Structure 1
């Protein structure tokens, strides 16, 4: 891996809440000049096979998932996201948890639609499922239904407090983050805490809790991310250095659901190599 290689370790496809299918995503990554792309759909590995089959020559594919987690060390508990990479997708205990989380996402989505309909908004569950197109159901799919119904202008408006950002936001049935780190490790993978200082998303966990995660087997922290201010990126990098963790950078690309571009934030080759060396599940492709 050369020092000028461009590495994006956090992207989403139509297997969850992205707008680009896995095959087109890897082709877009190659066209954007990326050397490495990680596919990390929410709580699913459903896009892995399509992405692998369409992978262009010269692009390395890292198979992963963004796992919906929660820290129960405070009240109320704090939701967070964990990026799992290169784990064995057939490892039963982890697969069972991902299945449970996806099922809970569906129930949550139906409840949100029910609340919207109870308030007089003509949104159908079938429309939401149509936007999900078989992928893991999430709030972006409900946002698309709101846009199609003419209730909001775009995704940003749909996620304002009066809509899905607060009034119609319901908690998810997540996985304890320490359990998630353990299960991914048991499946041969490595874990990176996604956007850990993104206060614009809500409450964040204290550094002391991240130190506990590091002691439990966490491999890295996502420092360079669109939802981190420059001072937050610097803080995460310092913390990663103090804890001996890998600091990564990623776009968190969702296609047209967000304005961020593929490869807008990237991971240094040396950091990438540390992640690869720590994994023993499925290899990069």
Structure 2
């Protein structure tokens, strides 16, 4: 059983539509895929309508958080998307994405980059605009060679020359909100140092004490030594360990199913969830 619990669509900063994402997941030989767009559930309906037979969809989201000045991404699975308090907080984060992206464009222009808001908006399309869309604009302009190359102190990394802050959740509040909505929480790529500063192990221990369910261990931004360290830490803290591709379509080099989650861990995630349940595909209605 092949399970990938971290993938993005055009509802946020992926390049596959939700329908394309689930079809591509089935084509990649996955049995389960999670749709975890940034701070939005906007891709659910399309993904469910197109869900192929043989593929199960886990609904989720990747929440933008910040702790002591460090960006933290929290994967939330199988929560009730209509729970009012959690829905309001996701809306606050989404609403701040446009002003933040505009501020980054302005900062880049001040650095001499010939980027425009219209270019970034075109790349984002109907999705929830974010840094990867600004990064993709830099690739189009030839400023950097890849989206990953834009996430450096020279450009868009936390604290970088063109970085701008946005409204983000405190991860302890995020864990509380997700749990109150019946969901399960997993900290995404917690030791991805190439993205910027990481929270210390003491923060992971505190989050575990506050109800965090797991950490994403097998990820393209974790080398083998980091994975071994995180697995040992998870065992000490009684946390689940997951593996995921963090797929963004053509915007990143990772492939669907490049890293996967153990079926027993997936089973425990589904057992803990009460807000929603995995949906098995019945062939999809839109081709």
TM-score tier, shorter chain, comes to: over 0.9
Aligned partner of 1:93 among 85, 102, 108:
85
CA shift at 1:167, angstroms? 1.6
Counterpart in the other structure of 1:136: 128
Say yes or no: does 1:234 pair with 2:228. Answer: yes
Say yes or no: does 1:258 pair with 2:252. Answer: yes
C-alpha distance in 2, partners of 1:47/1:20?
A: 11
Aligned to 2:73, the other structure's residue is in SS state strand
C-alpha distance in 2, partners of 1:193/1:228?
A: 13
Unpaired runs of at least 5, structure 1: none
Q: Which has the higher contact order (CA 8 A, sep 6+)?
A: 2
C-alpha distance in 2, partners of 1:121/1:196?
A: 32
Aligned to 2:96, the other structure's residue is in SS state helix
C-alpha distance in 1, partners of 2:152/2:191?
A: 20
Aligned to 2:199, the other structure's residue is in SS state coil
Two-structure CA RMSD over aligned residues (Å): 1.3
Counterpart in the other structure of 2:42: 46
C-alpha distance in 2, partners of 1:38/1:227?
A: 19
Instruction: Tell me the TM-score normalized by structure 1.
Output: 0.93
Say yes or no: does 1:10 pair with 2:6. Answer: yes
Aligned to 1:68, the other structure's residue is in SS state strand
Greater than 4 Å deviation, 4+ residue runs: none
Work out the number of aligned pairs and report it.
277
C-alpha distance in 1, partners of 2:108/2:249?
A: 26
CA shift at 1:98, angstroms? 0.7
C-alpha distance in 1, partners of 2:241/2:260?
A: 10
CA shift at 1:206, angstroms? 1.9
Say yes or no: does 1:246 pair with 2:240. Answer: yes
C-alpha distance in 2, partners of 1:229/1:119?
A: 34
Counterpart in the other structure of 2:67: 71
C-alpha distance in 2, partners of 1:157/1:65?
A: 25
Q: Deviations over 1:62-114 (max 9, x none)?
A: 00000001113xxxx21100000000111111111111111112111000111
Counterpart in the other structure of 2:73: 81
Which sits farther off after the overlay, 207-216 or 5-14?
207-216
- In structure 2, relative to structure 1, the CA distance for the partners of 1:201 and 1:120 (3 Å cut) is closer
Unpaired runs of at least 5, structure 2: 280-287
